[in-house]
């Protein structure tokens, strides 16, 4: 009997903040205020393709002392610690020895804003937390998707009736997430991804971060 098994999977982590309305209200007010201050809080050397409808902060967000930032940082990094421990088989004592170095920043995206294909060098885990999804146009189902590119891109070098209709998870389709307020997604930093154009009203606000880990 032929057996079919899925090899080379990519781990993702998902969680939901238990009290997102309270936290996200504080975060949104803070980020909009810092955006309005302009260059003082902006990334001074942006590299990844984006347009002027996206504001990107500098990368020191998790060092801010505001209680909402401290709460968000602890929530996000505790989940990084958890996923690293589970996937590496660390016991509780080893997990307690994990040291996490991180960069973190926020994005405020308005209508037509997008963020190009990129990944995050010098980190093992990256994450995105959704503060506000904005109000998407009803006829734009892909608005603002966090879109992950399929890592097996070489699989499509030749397509015929033997492989062109592979079912999930064996196909070569990208994976798009429509983030909801309070949602956290963790993924390996090497994985290429992008944010598709946001077609909607209001602001799409997210926090992104990278983590490199070591054992004390």
Rounded-to-10 torsion of CA 145, 204, 63, 68: -120
Task: Please list the pLDDT of the chain residue by residue as tens digits (216 residues).
Answer: 999 998 889 999 999 999 999 999 999 999 999 999 988 999 999 999 999 999 999 999 999 999 999 999 999 999 999 999 999 999 999 999 999 999 999 999 999 999 999 999 999 999 999 999 999 999 999 999 999 999 987 888 999 999 999 988 888 889 999 999 999 999 999 999 999 999 999 999 999 999 999 999
* Domain assignment of residue 30, yes or no: yes
3-state class of 192 per DSSP?
A: coil
pLDDT of res. 38: 85
* Domain assignment of residue 208, yes or no: no
* Domain assignment of residue 160, yes or no: no
Domain of 39 in residue numbering reads as: 24-43+55-101+122-129
pLDDT of res. 200: 97
pLDDT of res. 172: 85
Asked if residues 131 and 28 have their Cβ atoms less than 8 Å apart, the reply is yes
* Domain assignment of residue 87, yes or no: yes
Do 81 and 144 have their domain in common? no
pLDDT of res. 177: 97
pLDDT of res. 169: 84
* Domain assignment of residue 106, yes or no: no
What is the longest distance spanned by two Cα atoms in the chain?
A: 66
Do 81 and 34 have their domain in common? yes
- Give the number of domains in the chain: 2
* Domain assignment of residue 144, yes or no: yes
* Domain assignment of residue 64, yes or no: yes
* Domain assignment of residue 35, yes or no: yes
* C-alpha triplet 103, 109, 113: angle, nearest 5°: 115
pLDDT of res. 97: 97
Do 28 and 95 have their domain in common? yes
Asked if residues 27 and 72 have their Cβ atoms less than 8 Å apart, the reply is yes
Contacts of residue 101, defined as CB under 8 A and 6 or more positions apart, other chains included, come to 211, 212, 213, 214
């Amino acid at each position: 009997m032929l057996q079919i098994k899925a090899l080379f999977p990519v781990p993702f982590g998902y969680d939901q903040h238990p009290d997102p309305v309270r936290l996200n209200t504080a975060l949104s007010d803070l980020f909009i205020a810092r955006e309005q201050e302009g260059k003082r809080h902006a990334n001074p050397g942006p590299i990844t393709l984006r347009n002027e409808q996206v504001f990107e902060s500098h990368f020191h967000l998790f060092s801010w002392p505001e209680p909402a930032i401290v709460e968000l940082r602890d929530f996000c990094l505790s989940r990084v610690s958890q996923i690293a421990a589970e996937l590496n088989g660390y016991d509780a004592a080893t997990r307690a020895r994990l040291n996490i170095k991180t960069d973190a920043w926020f994005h405020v995206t308005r209508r037509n804003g997008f963020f190009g294909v990129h990944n995050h060098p010098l980190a093992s885990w990256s994450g995105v937390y959704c503060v506000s999804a904005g109000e998407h146009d009803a006829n734009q189902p892909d608005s603002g998707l966090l879109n992950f590119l399929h890592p097996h891109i070489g699989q499509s070098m030749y397509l015929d009736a033997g492989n062109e209709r592979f079912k999930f998870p064996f196909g070569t389709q990208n994976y798009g997430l429509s983030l909801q307020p309070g949602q956290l997604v963790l993924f390996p930093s090497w994985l290429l991804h992008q944010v598709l154009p946001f077609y909607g009203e209001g602001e799409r606000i997210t926090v992104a971060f990278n983590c490199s880990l070591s054992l004390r």
